[in-house]
Amino acid sequence: MNQESPKPSAVLNGQTAVVTGGSSGIGAGIARALGEAGANVVVNYSGSRERAEEVVARIREQGSQAVAVQADVSSESDVEAMFRQAVEIFGTVDILISNAGVQQDAAFTEMTLDEWNKVISINLTGAFLCARAATREFLRRGMVPGRSSALGKIIFVSSVHEIIPWSGRVNYAASKGGLMLFMKSIAQELGAKGIRVNSIAPGAIRTPINRESWDDPEAKAELLKLIPRNRIGDSSDIGKAALWLASDESDYVHGTSLVVDGGMTLYPGFISAG
């Protein structure tokens, strides 16, 4: 009998993924998608262990291994400890999903230095610390025959706001714009070593971070005007994109932001104007 290629649902068998901010929202959607595809998943959280344990339980029900690990991604020692723990438990790390992110909205003239620093340190410095730790582990471990065509995969969860300026959230837009060139620069530096680096740029996905934009019917109607596809995204929409970027199916995709936004970046204001 011919040897069959692995089921699409098991394309990440034997690989280990660290998902930062994996206890809720987009991170939880990605953690579940990777677990369903056979990956061992480190579900990172900063606050609620309980929610992280729920995600872990869901992944275990799907037949994969998972563990919840607390770490503040903006802390170098926390990040180093999290990767050490991941390696102790699963032997190595093959995939980093750098997803942890926050918003601290304020009018520009009212924005405090703390609000600026918090967003930059979690969204951008956190991405740096996690990507550096993951890269060091990929290089230490080396290629494992038959596991993946890449030495490692790094996927940043960015935002449409790496492209779309955002009044009242200049800290957030600056963090995501910075993340875009950080991603491309390390992609340029690491490609020859076999490490694939990409981002996903989600639009409006129904998560706690933007609850006020979809919870209230009027706000939701305004939001939908910005989305040609006419629906708010689900974290599973991002989970599917992350699974593809983490798998060898996307082997030639490198240094790219995959926009998953229902058309939000199509300047929908021009549908009936301009």
- Which is nearer to ligand BGC, 213 or 256 (by Cβ)? 213
31 binds ligand BGC (CB under 6 A): no
Length of the chain counted residue by residue: 274
CA-wise closest residue to 206 among 232, 227, 224: 232
Please select the residue that binds ligand BGC; options are 129, 151, 195, 209, rule is CB under 6 A: 209
Please select the residue that binds ligand BGC; options are 43, 204, 224, 245, rule is CB under 6 A: 204
Q: In this structure, which long-range contacts are made by residues 162-165, counting pairs with CB atoms below 8 Å and at least 24 apart in sequence? A: 162/199, 162/201, 162/257, 163/201, 163/259, 163/265, 164/264, 164/265
Whether 45 is catalytic is: no
CA-wise closest residue to 85 among 93, 96, 97, 75: 93
29 binds ligand BGC (CB under 6 A): no
161 binds ligand BGC (CB under 6 A): yes
24 binds ligand BGC (CB under 6 A): no
Q: How far is the CB of 156 from ligand BGC (least distance, A)?
A: 12
Element spanning 69, H or E: strand 66-70
Q: How far is the CB of 202 from ligand BGC (least distance, A)?
A: 6
28 binds ligand BGC (CB under 6 A): no
Sheet with 40-45, side-by-side order of all strands: 66-70, 40-45, 16-19, 95-98, 152-157, 195-202, 257-260
CA-to-CA separations, 191 to 135, 195, 198, 243, 258, in angstroms, rounded: 11, 5, 11, 20, 18
CA-wise closest residue to 252 among 185, 184, 196, 199: 196
Q: How far is the CB of 139 from ligand BGC (least distance, A)?
A: 31
Q: How far is the CB of 163 from ligand BGC (least distance, A)?
A: 11
Select the residue whose beta carbon is closest to ligand BGC and give its number: 159
Please select the residue that binds ligand BGC; options are 82, 122, 160, 187, rule is CB under 6 A: 160
Please select the residue that binds ligand BGC; options are 203, 233, 239, 262, rule is CB under 6 A: 203
What is the C-alpha separation between 210 and 216, in angstroms, rounded?
11
Q: Which segment (60-68, 92-100, 187-195, 206-214) binds ligand BGC by CB under 6 A?
A: 206-214
- Helices and strands in the chain, H and E counts: 9, 7
210 binds ligand BGC (CB under 6 A): yes
Residues in 60-119 at the binding interface with ligand BGC, rule: CB under 6 A: 103
Torsion angle of alpha carbons 141, 138, 70, 97, nearest 10°?
A: -140
**How many beta carbons lie within 10 A of that of residue 114, not counting itself?**
9
- Which is nearer to ligand BGC, 94 or 261 (by Cβ)? 261
260 forms bridges with which residues in the sheet?
A: 202
153 binds ligand BGC (CB under 6 A): no
- Which is nearer to ligand BGC, 12 or 209 (by Cβ)? 209
173 binds ligand BGC (CB under 6 A): no
- The residues carrying an active-site annotation are 172
Residues that bind ligand BGC (CB under 6 A): 103, 159-161, 203-204, 209-210, 213
